[in-house]
Amino acid sequence: MTEERLLRRDEIPLVWEIDRSEVIEHLYSVEAGQLVLRPEFYDMRGWPEGEAEHYTPILLDCFDRGGWFLGLFDQGRLIGAVVLDPHRLGPERDWLQLKFLHLSHAYRRRGLGAHLFHLAATQARHLGASALYVSATPSQNTVDFYTRLGCRLCMEPDEELYRLEPEDVHLVYQILNA
């Protein structure tokens, strides 16, 4: 039985215990405003080297600025997490970034990732946002997950986020009716 609850600041480093393992066979790129799928193989075992050291301060800063951090636990162990950054984006400054959404490998394909996504969309709506901005890793599994949930290619990516993550697929999810 899983339990969901808000994360405390001191629990943020636990996100690196989420089992990110994944076999990637295809990556998307964006060409002329279209998603293009190409074969590229990676056997991801855990987090890339240095990721925790690089991103923990970014996540802590997000928390300190009022970010929303929700964890999914199984028997006391963090197995999934979703984060909303409070910094406003978009042409009307009414989008929020889905900064982080990861679910341990053994818990995927059970609807839990979609559940976390929809909880974040509901929270964003309560905060007055009209959309979620997602900078997704370009793996087919990740991009297909978000597009199945209703995310669409962002035709005008946020300049700062695009500069930080140019290989990512930048998506938008309209939440007015979520």
What's residue 176's pLDDT?
Answer: 72
Rounded mean pLDDT, 111-137: 97
Residue 164: strand, helix, or coil = helix
What's residue 6's pLDDT?
Answer: 98
* The model's pTM: 0.94
- Checking if the pLDDT of 32 tops 80, the result is yes
Which range of residues forms the domain containing residue 139?
2-174
Rounded mean pLDDT, 121-135: 97
What's residue 177's pLDDT?
Answer: 55
- Mind listing the pLDDT tens digit for each residue in 1-18? 789 999 999 999 999 999
Please give the tally of structural domains in the chain.
Answer: 1
CATH number, residue 100: 3.40.630.30
What's residue 1's pLDDT?
Answer: 79
